[in-house]
Amino acid sequence: MTRQNPSLTEQQYFVLAALMDGPLHGYGIIKAAEQATGGRLRIAVGTLYGALERLERAGLVAADHEEIVDGRARRYYRLTEDGTVTLNREALRMQQAAAVVIGRPGDVGVAPA
């Protein structure tokens, strides 16, 4: 993933989306992503911190602050300006891609599985 042409996984997309309203700690990000997808996406802790590390290296998120809760450090992450641009660009790309399929004559929604 580069700053010029980032390629986001679904988990990375929802991590960025979770941070739209402000900084969150890891567990908060996991719960926000789960809630945003109606429980469909459950990000494992290891997956989350790997994604956060890649997103931070790409300049899309940054550590915001830490606080101590029950004797343990809780790090909060925030969306950067580049992260906001990337998230919006990806949302637009998905919307345009979906428009190719949704709304076609005779389309009544999701095809049966």
Q: How many angstroms separate the CA atoms of 76 and 24, rounded?
A: 5
Question: Taking a C-beta distance cutoff of 8 angstroms, is the pair 60, 77 a contact?
Answer: no
pLDDT at position 102 is 87
Cβ burial of 8 (10 Å; 0-12, 13-18, 19+) is buried
pLDDT at position 1 is 56
Q: How many angstroms separate the CA atoms of 66 and 83, rounded?
A: 20
pLDDT at position 6 is 56
pLDDT at position 107 is 58
Longest dimension (CA), the chain: 59
Q: What is the pLDDT along the chain (113 residues), one digit of tens a residue?
A: 545 555 799 999 999 999 999 999 999 999 999 999 999 999 999 999 999 999 999 999 999 999 988 888 899 999 999 999 999 999 999 999 889 888 776 655 555 55
Q: How many angstroms separate the CA atoms of 32 and 18, rounded?
A: 6
